[in-house]
Amino acid sequence: MKTILLSVILPALASAAATNGKFTALSFNVAGLPSILQSNDVNGTKTDNANLIGTYFSEYGYDIINMQEDFNYHAYIYETDTHAYRTATSGGAAFGSGLNTISNYNWVDFTRVKWNICSDASSADCLTPKGFTFMRWNPADGVYVDFYNLHADAGIEDEDEAARNSNLQQVADYIDTWSTGNAVVVMGDTNSRYTRAKDTGIRVFKSQNSLADTWVDLEKDGVYPTAGADALVCENPTSVQTCETVDKVLYRGSSVVSLEADSFVYDSAKFTNTDPEYLGDILSDHNPILVNFTWSLSSSLRQSQFSGGPHGTWFNDLPSIPSSPAASVITFSGAERLDAVALELKDGTSFSHGGTGGTKVSLTLASGEYWTETKLCTGKHNKHTRNFYIKATTSTGKTLEAGTSTDDCQTFTAPDGFAVVGFMGQDADEIDQLALVYAAY
Protein backbone atom coordinates (compact mmCIF):
# COMPACT_ATOMS: atom_id res chain seq x y z
CA MET A 1 0.00 0.00 0.00
CA LYS A 2 2.77 2.40 1.00
CA THR A 3 4.72 1.59 -2.17
CA ILE A 4 1.76 2.35 -4.40
CA LEU A 5 1.12 5.64 -2.66
CA LEU A 6 4.75 6.71 -3.05
CA SER A 7 4.89 5.87 -6.73
CA VAL A 8 1.80 8.02 -7.29
CA ILE A 9 3.11 10.97 -5.30
CA LEU A 10 6.78 11.05 -6.30
CA PRO A 11 6.41 11.84 -10.03
CA ALA A 12 4.18 14.78 -9.12
CA LEU A 13 6.77 16.11 -6.69
CA ALA A 14 9.59 15.67 -9.18
CA SER A 15 7.86 17.68 -11.91
CA ALA A 16 7.04 20.70 -9.73
CA ALA A 17 9.79 23.31 -10.16
CA ALA A 18 11.68 23.97 -6.94
CA THR A 19 10.95 27.31 -5.29
CA ASN A 20 13.85 27.14 -2.85
CA GLY A 21 17.15 25.38 -2.44
CA LYS A 22 20.66 25.52 -1.05
CA PHE A 23 24.12 25.79 -2.53
CA THR A 24 27.68 25.79 -1.28
CA ALA A 25 30.24 28.28 -2.63
CA LEU A 26 34.01 28.12 -2.09
CA SER A 27 36.55 30.84 -2.82
CA PHE A 28 40.15 29.62 -2.89
CA ASN A 29 43.43 31.20 -3.97
CA VAL A 30 45.19 27.96 -4.98
CA ALA A 31 48.75 29.40 -5.05
CA GLY A 32 49.44 28.24 -8.60
CA LEU A 33 52.21 30.66 -9.63
CA PRO A 34 55.28 28.79 -10.98
CA SER A 35 57.25 27.55 -7.97
CA ILE A 36 60.44 29.19 -9.29
CA LEU A 37 58.68 32.58 -9.07
CA GLN A 38 56.75 32.05 -5.87
CA SER A 39 56.98 29.14 -3.41
CA ASN A 40 54.09 30.57 -1.36
CA ASP A 41 55.95 29.03 1.64
CA VAL A 42 53.98 25.86 1.12
CA ASN A 43 55.56 22.42 1.60
CA GLY A 44 55.39 19.67 -1.01
CA THR A 45 55.55 20.09 -4.78
CA LYS A 46 53.03 22.37 -6.43
CA THR A 47 51.99 19.60 -8.82
CA ASP A 48 51.21 17.17 -5.97
CA ASN A 49 49.42 19.89 -4.03
CA ALA A 50 47.33 20.86 -7.07
CA ASN A 51 46.40 17.21 -7.59
CA LEU A 52 45.29 17.01 -3.97
CA ILE A 53 43.30 20.25 -4.17
CA GLY A 54 41.41 18.76 -7.15
CA THR A 55 40.80 15.56 -5.19
CA TYR A 56 39.31 17.56 -2.32
CA PHE A 57 37.13 19.55 -4.74
CA SER A 58 35.68 16.24 -6.00
CA GLU A 59 35.31 14.76 -2.55
CA TYR A 60 33.44 17.74 -1.04
CA GLY A 61 31.49 18.43 -4.24
CA TYR A 62 30.83 22.10 -3.42
CA ASP A 63 28.30 23.51 -5.89
CA ILE A 64 30.47 26.35 -7.14
CA ILE A 65 34.19 26.89 -6.58
CA ASN A 66 35.95 30.05 -7.66
CA MET A 67 39.74 29.78 -7.85
CA GLN A 68 42.35 32.51 -8.04
CA GLU A 69 46.02 32.06 -8.96
CA ASP A 70 45.05 28.91 -10.86
CA PHE A 71 48.00 29.41 -13.22
CA ASN A 72 50.63 26.79 -13.98
CA TYR A 73 49.26 23.75 -12.13
CA HIS A 74 45.73 24.10 -13.51
CA ALA A 75 45.89 20.77 -15.37
CA TYR A 76 46.78 18.98 -12.11
CA ILE A 77 43.68 20.35 -10.40
CA TYR A 78 41.43 19.41 -13.32
CA GLU A 79 43.04 15.96 -13.49
CA THR A 80 41.51 14.93 -10.16
CA ASP A 81 38.49 17.24 -10.01
CA THR A 82 35.21 15.82 -11.32
CA HIS A 83 32.83 18.82 -11.39
CA ALA A 84 30.48 18.69 -14.39
CA TYR A 85 30.99 22.32 -15.48
CA ARG A 86 34.43 23.96 -15.62
CA THR A 87 35.85 27.04 -17.29
CA ALA A 88 38.72 26.58 -19.75
CA THR A 89 41.96 28.09 -18.47
CA SER A 90 43.04 31.43 -19.89
CA GLY A 91 46.67 30.30 -19.54
CA GLY A 92 49.58 30.12 -17.12
CA ALA A 93 51.29 33.11 -15.49
CA ALA A 94 52.17 35.85 -18.04
CA PHE A 95 49.21 34.80 -20.22
CA GLY A 96 46.16 34.14 -18.06
CA SER A 97 44.28 35.71 -15.17
CA GLY A 98 44.47 32.62 -12.93
CA LEU A 99 40.69 32.76 -12.52
CA ASN A 100 38.65 29.60 -13.02
CA THR A 101 35.29 28.30 -11.91
CA ILE A 102 34.09 24.72 -11.44
CA SER A 103 30.47 23.95 -10.69
CA ASN A 104 27.71 21.38 -10.38
CA TYR A 105 25.45 23.63 -12.48
CA ASN A 106 25.72 25.30 -15.83
CA TRP A 107 25.78 29.03 -16.56
CA VAL A 108 25.43 31.49 -19.46
CA ASP A 109 27.32 34.61 -20.53
CA PHE A 110 30.76 33.67 -19.13
CA THR A 111 33.06 36.67 -19.65
CA ARG A 112 36.66 37.45 -18.72
CA VAL A 113 37.46 41.11 -18.04
CA LYS A 114 40.96 42.56 -17.63
CA TRP A 115 41.73 45.28 -15.08
CA ASN A 116 42.05 48.80 -16.51
CA ILE A 117 44.96 49.48 -14.14
CA CYS A 118 47.73 47.39 -12.56
CA SER A 119 50.71 48.34 -10.43
CA ASP A 120 54.16 46.79 -10.06
CA ALA A 121 55.03 49.05 -7.12
CA SER A 122 55.49 46.19 -4.64
CA SER A 123 54.86 42.97 -6.56
CA ALA A 124 54.66 41.99 -10.22
CA ASP A 125 50.91 42.49 -10.69
CA CYS A 126 51.36 43.57 -14.32
CA LEU A 127 53.28 40.38 -15.15
CA THR A 128 50.01 38.70 -16.06
CA PRO A 129 46.62 40.11 -17.18
CA LYS A 130 44.66 39.84 -13.95
CA GLY A 131 41.03 40.90 -13.66
CA PHE A 132 37.66 39.33 -12.97
CA THR A 133 35.21 36.89 -14.49
CA PHE A 134 31.44 37.08 -14.79
CA MET A 135 28.76 34.44 -15.35
CA ARG A 136 25.01 34.10 -14.93
CA TRP A 137 24.95 30.93 -12.84
CA ASN A 138 21.84 28.75 -13.16
CA PRO A 139 21.41 26.39 -10.18
CA ALA A 140 17.71 25.70 -10.93
CA ASP A 141 15.01 26.45 -13.50
CA GLY A 142 14.31 30.20 -13.53
CA VAL A 143 17.03 30.85 -10.93
CA TYR A 144 20.07 32.90 -11.95
CA VAL A 145 22.79 34.39 -9.78
CA ASP A 146 25.42 36.65 -11.39
CA PHE A 147 28.73 35.30 -10.08
CA TYR A 148 31.90 37.38 -10.10
CA ASN A 149 35.35 35.94 -9.38
CA LEU A 150 38.21 38.41 -8.97
CA HIS A 151 41.85 38.86 -8.09
CA ALA A 152 42.73 42.47 -7.32
CA ASP A 153 46.14 44.17 -7.32
CA ALA A 154 48.41 43.30 -4.39
CA GLY A 155 50.73 45.45 -2.25
CA ILE A 156 50.39 48.48 -0.01
CA GLU A 157 52.42 51.16 -1.81
CA ASP A 158 50.32 54.16 -2.89
CA GLU A 159 50.30 52.95 -6.52
CA ASP A 160 49.13 49.50 -5.40
CA GLU A 161 46.32 51.02 -3.38
CA ALA A 162 45.27 53.21 -6.31
CA ALA A 163 45.31 50.22 -8.68
CA ARG A 164 43.40 47.99 -6.25
CA ASN A 165 40.75 50.59 -5.47
CA SER A 166 40.35 51.12 -9.21
CA ASN A 167 40.02 47.35 -9.77
CA LEU A 168 37.22 47.01 -7.22
CA GLN A 169 35.49 50.14 -8.53
CA GLN A 170 35.67 48.56 -12.01
CA VAL A 171 33.78 45.49 -10.73
CA ALA A 172 31.21 47.68 -8.93
CA ASP A 173 30.57 49.64 -12.12
CA TYR A 174 30.32 46.44 -14.15
CA ILE A 175 27.69 45.15 -11.69
CA ASP A 176 25.67 48.35 -12.20
CA THR A 177 25.71 47.79 -15.97
CA TRP A 178 25.50 44.00 -16.33
CA SER A 179 23.67 42.88 -13.19
CA THR A 180 20.90 45.48 -12.92
CA GLY A 181 17.98 43.82 -11.18
CA ASN A 182 19.86 40.58 -10.52
CA ALA A 183 21.08 38.56 -7.58
CA VAL A 184 24.88 38.84 -7.32
CA VAL A 185 27.71 37.01 -5.58
CA VAL A 186 31.19 38.53 -5.66
CA MET A 187 34.02 36.35 -4.43
CA GLY A 188 37.75 36.23 -4.67
CA ASP A 189 41.08 37.56 -3.56
CA THR A 190 40.38 41.27 -3.09
CA ASN A 191 43.83 41.84 -1.56
CA SER A 192 41.91 44.21 0.74
CA ARG A 193 41.34 44.48 4.45
CA TYR A 194 38.63 46.60 6.00
CA THR A 195 41.16 47.50 8.69
CA ARG A 196 43.55 49.03 6.13
CA ALA A 197 42.75 52.75 5.88
CA LYS A 198 43.69 53.09 2.20
CA ASP A 199 41.65 50.04 1.12
CA THR A 200 38.56 52.09 0.31
CA GLY A 201 37.56 50.07 -2.78
CA ILE A 202 36.29 47.06 -0.82
CA ARG A 203 33.62 49.24 0.81
CA VAL A 204 32.20 50.29 -2.57
CA PHE A 205 30.38 46.96 -2.93
CA LYS A 206 28.12 47.91 -0.04
CA SER A 207 27.72 51.62 -0.80
CA GLN A 208 27.28 51.29 -4.57
CA ASN A 209 25.90 47.77 -5.16
CA SER A 210 24.13 47.03 -1.83
CA LEU A 211 26.12 43.82 -1.39
CA ALA A 212 26.42 42.31 2.08
CA ASP A 213 29.75 40.87 3.23
CA THR A 214 29.19 37.30 4.50
CA TRP A 215 32.07 37.51 6.99
CA VAL A 216 30.93 40.88 8.42
CA ASP A 217 27.32 39.69 8.75
CA LEU A 218 27.95 36.22 10.13
CA GLU A 219 31.19 36.59 12.10
CA LYS A 220 31.25 40.29 13.07
CA ASP A 221 27.54 40.79 13.92
CA GLY A 222 27.17 43.12 10.93
CA VAL A 223 29.79 45.57 12.23
CA TYR A 224 32.46 46.50 9.67
CA PRO A 225 35.98 46.78 11.12
CA THR A 226 37.14 50.36 11.54
CA ALA A 227 39.40 51.63 8.74
CA GLY A 228 42.86 52.18 10.23
CA ALA A 229 42.37 49.72 13.11
CA ASP A 230 44.92 46.97 13.86
CA ALA A 231 44.84 44.09 11.35
CA LEU A 232 42.83 41.05 12.48
CA VAL A 233 45.41 38.63 11.07
CA CYS A 234 44.43 35.00 10.45
CA GLU A 235 46.64 31.98 11.01
CA ASN A 236 46.72 29.46 8.17
CA PRO A 237 45.04 27.12 8.78
CA THR A 238 42.77 29.09 11.08
CA SER A 239 40.04 27.73 13.30
CA VAL A 240 39.09 31.27 14.32
CA GLN A 241 36.38 32.83 12.14
CA THR A 242 36.56 36.42 13.40
CA CYS A 243 40.01 37.14 11.92
CA GLU A 244 40.10 38.92 8.53
CA THR A 245 41.64 37.66 5.30
CA VAL A 246 41.86 39.46 1.97
CA ASP A 247 39.58 36.79 0.48
CA LYS A 248 35.93 37.83 0.56
CA VAL A 249 32.44 36.65 -0.37
CA LEU A 250 29.77 39.34 -0.84
CA TYR A 251 26.20 39.05 -2.14
CA ARG A 252 22.71 40.41 -2.71
CA GLY A 253 19.40 38.87 -3.80
CA SER A 254 16.90 40.24 -6.31
CA SER A 255 13.13 40.73 -6.45
CA VAL A 256 12.90 37.27 -8.10
CA VAL A 257 15.36 35.28 -5.99
CA SER A 258 16.30 36.08 -2.43
CA LEU A 259 19.67 34.89 -1.20
CA GLU A 260 20.69 34.26 2.37
CA ALA A 261 24.20 33.32 3.53
CA ASP A 262 23.63 30.73 6.26
CA SER A 263 27.23 30.09 7.26
CA PHE A 264 30.75 31.41 6.72
CA VAL A 265 33.79 29.30 7.50
CA TYR A 266 37.50 29.31 6.74
CA ASP A 267 37.54 25.78 5.35
CA SER A 268 41.33 25.36 5.70
CA ALA A 269 41.25 22.29 7.93
CA LYS A 270 39.62 20.38 5.07
CA PHE A 271 42.40 21.25 2.60
CA THR A 272 45.57 19.91 4.23
CA ASN A 273 48.31 17.66 2.91
CA THR A 274 47.81 13.88 3.13
CA ASP A 275 51.40 13.03 2.09
CA PRO A 276 53.02 11.35 5.15
CA GLU A 277 56.02 13.66 4.76
CA TYR A 278 53.86 16.81 4.95
CA LEU A 279 50.87 15.45 6.85
CA GLY A 280 48.47 18.22 7.89
CA ASP A 281 50.45 21.00 6.16
CA ILE A 282 48.58 23.67 4.21
CA LEU A 283 48.25 23.39 0.39
CA SER A 284 48.02 27.14 -0.25
CA ASP A 285 49.10 30.30 1.54
CA HIS A 286 45.43 31.40 1.56
CA ASN A 287 42.61 30.06 3.72
CA PRO A 288 39.73 28.88 1.52
CA ILE A 289 36.31 30.35 2.38
CA LEU A 290 33.14 28.27 2.32
CA VAL A 291 29.76 30.01 2.37
CA ASN A 292 26.53 28.01 2.46
CA PHE A 293 23.63 29.83 0.81
CA THR A 294 19.86 29.36 0.71
CA TRP A 295 17.89 30.73 -2.23
CA SER A 296 14.13 31.14 -2.46
CA LEU A 297 11.88 32.36 -5.22
CA SER A 298 9.52 35.27 -4.70
CA SER A 299 5.78 34.54 -4.52
CA SER A 300 5.06 37.56 -6.75
CA LEU A 301 7.87 37.74 -9.37
CA ARG A 302 9.64 35.04 -11.36
CA GLN A 303 11.69 34.70 -14.52
CA SER A 304 12.12 32.15 -17.31
CA GLN A 305 15.33 30.58 -18.54
CA PHE A 306 17.30 32.60 -21.13
CA SER A 307 17.08 32.04 -24.87
CA GLY A 308 19.81 33.33 -27.21
CA GLY A 309 23.48 34.22 -27.10
CA PRO A 310 25.85 36.31 -24.94
CA HIS A 311 25.87 39.39 -27.16
CA GLY A 312 24.42 42.90 -26.95
CA THR A 313 23.85 44.99 -23.83
CA TRP A 314 22.07 43.90 -20.65
CA PHE A 315 18.52 45.17 -19.95
CA ASN A 316 16.16 44.21 -17.14
CA ASP A 317 12.59 45.46 -16.59
CA LEU A 318 12.43 44.08 -13.03
CA PRO A 319 13.38 47.32 -11.25
CA SER A 320 10.62 49.18 -13.18
CA ILE A 321 7.78 46.69 -12.67
CA PRO A 322 4.96 48.38 -10.71
CA SER A 323 3.07 46.56 -7.96
CA SER A 324 0.23 44.33 -9.23
CA PRO A 325 1.38 44.60 -12.86
CA ALA A 326 -0.93 43.45 -15.68
CA ALA A 327 0.00 43.32 -19.37
CA SER A 328 -2.25 45.24 -21.74
CA VAL A 329 -0.61 45.39 -25.21
CA ILE A 330 2.08 43.05 -26.58
CA THR A 331 4.11 44.29 -29.56
CA PHE A 332 6.75 42.37 -31.53
CA SER A 333 8.83 43.35 -34.56
CA GLY A 334 10.51 40.80 -36.78
CA ALA A 335 11.40 39.71 -40.27
CA GLU A 336 14.27 37.30 -40.93
CA ARG A 337 15.04 37.51 -37.20
CA LEU A 338 13.45 38.98 -34.07
CA ASP A 339 14.05 42.74 -34.08
CA ALA A 340 12.18 43.97 -31.01
CA VAL A 341 9.81 43.10 -28.16
CA ALA A 342 7.60 45.56 -26.27
CA LEU A 343 4.94 45.44 -23.62
CA GLU A 344 2.51 48.02 -22.28
CA LEU A 345 1.09 47.49 -18.82
CA LYS A 346 -2.39 48.56 -17.68
CA ASP A 347 -0.96 51.31 -15.46
CA GLY A 348 0.79 52.90 -18.47
CA THR A 349 4.30 51.53 -17.80
CA SER A 350 5.87 50.38 -21.05
CA PHE A 351 8.97 48.37 -21.94
CA SER A 352 10.69 48.17 -25.31
CA HIS A 353 13.88 46.35 -26.32
CA GLY A 354 15.80 45.74 -29.53
CA GLY A 355 15.97 47.81 -32.69
CA THR A 356 13.70 49.57 -35.13
CA GLY A 357 13.71 47.04 -37.98
CA GLY A 358 11.13 44.40 -38.90
CA THR A 359 7.38 44.40 -39.25
CA LYS A 360 5.44 45.46 -36.17
CA VAL A 361 2.54 43.35 -34.88
CA SER A 362 0.44 43.88 -31.74
CA LEU A 363 -2.09 42.10 -29.58
CA THR A 364 -4.32 43.81 -27.02
CA LEU A 365 -5.25 41.56 -24.11
CA ALA A 366 -8.85 41.42 -22.93
CA SER A 367 -9.50 41.87 -19.23
CA GLY A 368 -8.75 38.59 -17.46
CA GLU A 369 -6.60 37.43 -20.38
CA TYR A 370 -2.92 36.70 -19.63
CA TRP A 371 0.22 36.03 -21.69
CA THR A 372 1.22 32.64 -20.28
CA GLU A 373 3.29 30.78 -22.88
CA THR A 374 6.24 31.87 -25.02
CA LYS A 375 8.05 30.05 -27.80
CA LEU A 376 11.50 31.38 -28.68
CA CYS A 377 13.72 30.11 -31.50
CA THR A 378 17.39 30.92 -31.95
CA GLY A 379 19.86 30.82 -34.82
CA LYS A 380 23.22 32.23 -35.83
CA HIS A 381 23.74 35.52 -37.61
CA ASN A 382 27.33 36.62 -38.31
CA LYS A 383 28.41 33.65 -36.14
CA HIS A 384 26.49 35.06 -33.15
CA THR A 385 23.54 33.24 -31.60
CA ARG A 386 20.46 35.41 -31.21
CA ASN A 387 16.66 35.09 -31.16
CA PHE A 388 15.06 34.61 -34.57
CA TYR A 389 11.44 34.03 -33.59
CA ILE A 390 8.92 34.63 -30.81
CA LYS A 391 5.35 33.43 -30.35
CA ALA A 392 3.21 34.48 -27.39
CA THR A 393 0.13 32.46 -26.44
CA THR A 394 -2.47 33.84 -24.05
CA SER A 395 -4.69 32.14 -21.48
CA THR A 396 -7.58 32.31 -23.97
CA GLY A 397 -5.51 30.75 -26.76
CA LYS A 398 -4.76 33.88 -28.83
CA THR A 399 -1.29 34.10 -30.35
CA LEU A 400 1.12 36.75 -31.60
CA GLU A 401 4.29 35.89 -33.50
CA ALA A 402 7.22 37.62 -35.19
CA GLY A 403 10.46 36.66 -36.93
CA THR A 404 11.36 33.36 -38.59
CA SER A 405 11.13 30.00 -36.85
CA THR A 406 14.23 27.75 -36.69
CA ASP A 407 15.01 24.17 -35.62
CA ASP A 408 16.29 25.39 -32.26
CA CYS A 409 13.24 26.34 -30.18
CA GLN A 410 12.19 26.33 -26.55
CA THR A 411 8.75 26.90 -25.04
CA PHE A 412 8.56 28.69 -21.69
CA THR A 413 5.37 28.32 -19.68
CA ALA A 414 4.66 30.74 -16.83
CA PRO A 415 4.30 29.06 -13.42
CA ASP A 416 0.63 28.50 -12.41
CA GLY A 417 -0.99 31.82 -11.54
CA PHE A 418 1.80 33.87 -13.19
CA ALA A 419 1.88 35.77 -16.52
CA VAL A 420 4.47 37.70 -18.55
CA VAL A 421 4.80 41.36 -17.51
CA GLY A 422 8.28 42.26 -18.75
CA PHE A 423 11.64 41.15 -20.08
CA MET A 424 15.31 40.82 -19.32
CA GLY A 425 18.19 39.93 -21.60
CA GLN A 426 20.74 41.44 -23.96
CA ASP A 427 19.98 43.50 -27.03
CA ALA A 428 21.40 45.77 -29.69
CA ASP A 429 19.49 46.33 -32.93
CA GLU A 430 17.97 42.87 -32.45
CA ILE A 431 17.14 40.63 -29.47
CA ASP A 432 20.34 38.69 -28.78
CA GLN A 433 19.15 37.12 -25.55
CA LEU A 434 15.76 37.08 -23.85
CA ALA A 435 14.05 35.83 -20.71
CA LEU A 436 10.49 36.57 -19.63
CA VAL A 437 9.63 38.31 -16.36
CA TYR A 438 6.51 36.82 -14.77
CA ALA A 439 4.23 38.31 -12.11
CA ALA A 440 1.52 36.59 -10.06
CA TYR A 441 -2.03 37.67 -10.97
- CB of 217 vs ligand NAG, minimal distance in Å: 14
Alpha carbon distance 369, 347 (integer Å)? 16
**Nearer to ligand NAG among residue 291 and residue 439 (C-beta):** 291
Yes or no: say if 357 and 429 are a contact pair by the CB < 8 Å rule: yes
Alpha carbon distance 421, 41 (integer Å)? 56
**Nearer to ligand NAG among residue 236 and residue 258 (C-beta):** 236
Alpha carbon distance 131, 168 (integer Å)? 10
HSE-up (13 A, CA, CB side) for residue 326: 12
**Nearer to ligand NAG among residue 21 and residue 357 (C-beta):** 21
Q: How do strand 247-252 and strand 184-189 relate by DSSP bridges?
A: antiparallel
Alpha carbon distance 36, 213 (integer Å)? 35
Beta bridge partners of 297: 257
H or E segment to which residue 29 belongs? strand 20-29
Alpha carbon distance 439, 252 (integer Å)? 21
**Nearer to ligand NAG among residue 230 and residue 277 (C-beta):** 277
**Nearer to ligand NAG among residue 43 and residue 352 (C-beta):** 43
Yes or no: say if 289 and 186 are a contact pair by the CB < 8 Å rule: no
- CB of 61 vs ligand NAG, minimal distance in Å: 8
- CB of 215 vs ligand NAG, minimal distance in Å: 13
- CB of 344 vs ligand NAG, minimal distance in Å: 45
**Nearer to ligand NAG among residue 185 and residue 330 (C-beta):** 185
- CB of 258 vs ligand NAG, minimal distance in Å: 19
- CB of 389 vs ligand NAG, minimal distance in Å: 42
- CB of 250 vs ligand NAG, minimal distance in Å: 18
3-state class of 332 per DSSP? strand
- CB of 243 vs ligand NAG, minimal distance in Å: 17
Using CB under 6 A, list all residues that contact ligand NAG: 24, 41-43, 263, 265, 281-282, 292
Alpha carbon distance 411, 398 (integer Å)? 16
**Nearer to ligand NAG among residue 8 and residue 279 (C-beta):** 279
User: DSSP letter string over 245-273?
Assistant: -SEEEEEE--SSEEEEEEEEEE-GGGSB-
Query: Residue 397: which of 367, 418, 371 has the closest Cα?
Result: 371
Yes or no: say if 167 and 117 are a contact pair by the CB < 8 Å rule: yes
**Nearer to ligand NAG among residue 146 and residue 219 (C-beta):** 219
**Nearer to ligand NAG among residue 282 and residue 420 (C-beta):** 282
- CB of 49 vs ligand NAG, minimal distance in Å: 11
Amino acid letter at 29? N
**Nearer to ligand NAG among residue 33 and residue 341 (C-beta):** 33
- CB of 56 vs ligand NAG, minimal distance in Å: 13
240-277 exposure pattern, b = at least 16 Cβ within 10 A, e = fewer: eeebbbbbbbbbbbbbbbebebeebbbbbeebebeeee
